Amino acid sequence: VLLEKDYSSILSNQPFQSISNINSQPIIAGTVSGNLLAINPQDLSIVWHQNNPTRQGAIIAIKQDSKKNIYYIFQDKNERYYQIRIHKCNANGVFQTSFLFDGTLAKESNWGFLMTSLVIDELDNLYLFGHNSDYPYLRYFKFNTDGVVLKKNLVSDNLLAKFAFINNKGDIVVAG
How many helices and strands in the chain, by DSSP H and E? 1, 14
pLDDT of residue 137: 81
Q: Stretch 79-83: mean pLDDT, rounded?
A: 80
Q: What pTM value is reported for the model?
A: 0.90
CA distances (Å), origin 142, targets 115, 153, 159: 13, 9, 17
Q: Stretch 134-157: mean pLDDT, rounded?
A: 88
Q: What is d(CA 108, CA 160) in angstroms, rounded to the nearest whole number? A: 16
Torsions phi, psi of 169, nearest 5? -95, -5
pLDDT at 43 over 90: yes
pLDDT bin (cut points 50, 70, 90) of residue 1 is low
pLDDT bin (cut points 50, 70, 90) of residue 133 is confident
